[in-house]
Structure 1
Amino acid sequence: MDDAGSLRERLVEVGVHLVLTEGTAALGLREIARRAGVSHGAPRRYFPTHHSLLSAIARRGFADLEARFAAAMAGLTSPRDRLQVFAREYVGYALECRGMFELMFRHELLDSDRHGADGPRLRESTLPLFEHLATLVAQCRENQRRENQRPKKQGRDQADPPEDPSVTAAAFWANLHGIAQLWTWGSLQLVLGASGPPGTERLDRLVAEVLDAHLGPVVP
């Protein structure tokens, strides 16, 4: 890697460390430059705006989250099991890496058009995440469709699932994001009579409720 690429990488690495350890408030351009050991004007050579540097830092968050999905899903073949892992990892990441999660969904960074043709394109970084989710939902729907084509047991009347998995995926994503945000704010702890971060059992129960709400319960 050349010197320019090395410095660019170092600026991003410093920003990732800052947001993970000190939160988004620490991501001033001067502070990132100081921690990287360069003049406060040096980042402008590689990132024309402060937002473009923040966008590059946030993309690391999306890459990290995707890597966590891949590792957690390794060996799983059931779409519903994979979707459950997706949900658990998404909420878990949001609670573990609160600063990065907040940065990843900052609206002024996601608003690509606002920055012009050469501006940051962080919004597009969410597309692979959503497409992954929508694919899993579609696979679950297909399994449901096949199940519904089998002779139904007496007394069982299961309606065909909705046709558009992207709508279900969008609602599912919003539900997961809401759980993460409400837990961060302390609202879920208040209504559930809990304290601190959710343990594995409580998080699994919340995720199971989301799955059942949007895909229906698993029928033996």
Structure 2
Amino acid sequence: MHDDEGLRERLVRAGVDLVAQEGSAAVSLREIARRAGVSHGAPRRYFPTHVELLSAIAREGFAGLTACLGAVPAGGSPRERLGGLARAYVAFAQEHRGMYELMFRHDLLRSDRLGLRETSLPLFGLLAELLAATGVGPGDQRAAAGALWANLHGIVQLWRWGSLPLATGTADVAELVDVALDAYAGPGAA
């Protein structure tokens, strides 16, 4: 049984590395098996479907994002903590492009293989909690948190595509993150 767990972990690690090097579109059972040094049929013993393998890899991404967000200092006002969280989220997305793309694939989140929702929803809950603690913004704080998250996600995507730097003339994504935070949580310290 121990060897089975080791092989399963090795397959996931090979998938994580593949996503980091070549992006989420490059992930296939055959390539992961090749990189893990096993037969192309071996991954099916642990991951009967492609979605289950992708979900296991995405779960590692959420663990990385959770660790990144956990490194945000706990001190300061809710607005300062929210700013730190937003900047860490965007930095993670920029540094782990392929993984970020994989983590938020609708088919994986919707299927909820391996409890991806259990991993991702607490992160949203933290965002909503901090936004509510600022005392600013519309009455429905979960909706406001959803809109802020959508803004951050949109900033990441549009920045990646080159649209935001072109349209805004902004050379620093942090400026756009600050504008989004100001819109939802009130102006931060200058």
Q: TM-score, normalised by structure 1?
A: 0.80
Partners of 1:76 and 1:66 in 2: how far apart? 18
| One-letter amino acid of the structure 2 residue matched with residue 136 of structure 1 | L
Query: The residue matched to 2:5 in structure 1 has which SS?
Result: helix
CA contact (8 A) 1:55 1:120 kept: yes
CA contact (8 A) 2:14 2:32 kept: yes
Partners of 2:49 and 2:188 in 1: how far apart? 49
- Deviating above 4 A after TM superposition, structure 1's stretches of 4 or more consecutive aligned residues are none
Query: The residue matched to 1:111 in structure 2 has which SS?
Result: helix
CA contact (8 A) 2:82 2:130 kept: yes
Partners of 1:208 and 1:40 in 2: how far apart? 47
| Structure 1: stretches of 5+ with no match in the other structure | 114-118, 145-160
Alignment of 1:17-56 (within 5 A): 17-56=17-56
Partners of 1:215 and 1:75 in 2: how far apart? 17
Partners of 1:75 and 1:168 in 2: how far apart? 22
Partners of 2:42 and 2:115 in 1: how far apart? 22
Q: TM-score, normalised by structure 2?
A: 0.92
Partner of 1:153: none
Structure 1 position 108, deviation (Å) = 1.6
Partner of 1:175: 151
CA offset digits 1:20-55 (Å, max 9, x no partner): 111112211100001001111111111111110100
Structure whose alpha-carbon radius of gyration is higher: 1
| Structure 2: stretches of 5+ with no match in the other structure | none
Partners of 1:106 and 1:205 in 2: how far apart? 27
Structure 1 position 79, deviation (Å) = 1.0
Query: The residue matched to 1:38 in structure 2 has which SS?
Result: coil
Alignment of 1:117-156 (within 5 A): 119-141=113-135
Q: Percent identity?
A: 59
| One-letter amino acid of the structure 1 residue matched with residue 39 of structure 2 | S
| One-letter amino acid of the structure 2 residue matched with residue 129 of structure 1 | L
Structure 1 position 219, deviation (Å) = 8.6
User: Hey, which of these two has a bigger chunk of helix by percent?
Assistant: 2
With over 3 angstroms needed to count, the CA separation of the structure-2 counterparts of 1:219 and 1:189, relative to structure 1, is closer
CA contact (8 A) 1:19 1:26 kept: yes
Partners of 2:188 and 2:176 in 1: how far apart? 16
Partners of 1:31 and 1:46 in 2: how far apart? 15
Does 1:88 pair with 2:64? Answer: no
| One-letter amino acid of the structure 2 residue matched with residue 92 of structure 1 | A
With over 3 angstroms needed to count, the CA separation of the structure-2 counterparts of 1:107 and 1:189, relative to structure 1, is same
CA contact (8 A) 1:112 1:121 kept: no
Structure 1 position 123, deviation (Å) = 3.7
Partner of 2:61: 61
Partners of 1:136 and 1:130 in 2: how far apart? 10
CA contact (8 A) 1:137 1:169 kept: yes
Structure 1 position 70, deviation (Å) = 1.1
| One-letter amino acid of the structure 1 residue matched with residue 19 of structure 2 | V
| One-letter amino acid of the structure 1 residue matched with residue 161 of structure 2 | W
Partner of 1:108: 107
Partners of 2:189 and 2:96 in 1: how far apart? 35
CA contact (8 A) 2:80 2:188 kept: no
CA offset digits 1:62-98 (Å, max 9, x no partner): 1101101111x22523211111011111111111111
Structure 1 position 203, deviation (Å) = 2.9
With over 3 angstroms needed to count, the CA separation of the structure-2 counterparts of 1:138 and 1:33, relative to structure 1, is same
Structure 1 position 215, deviation (Å) = 2.0
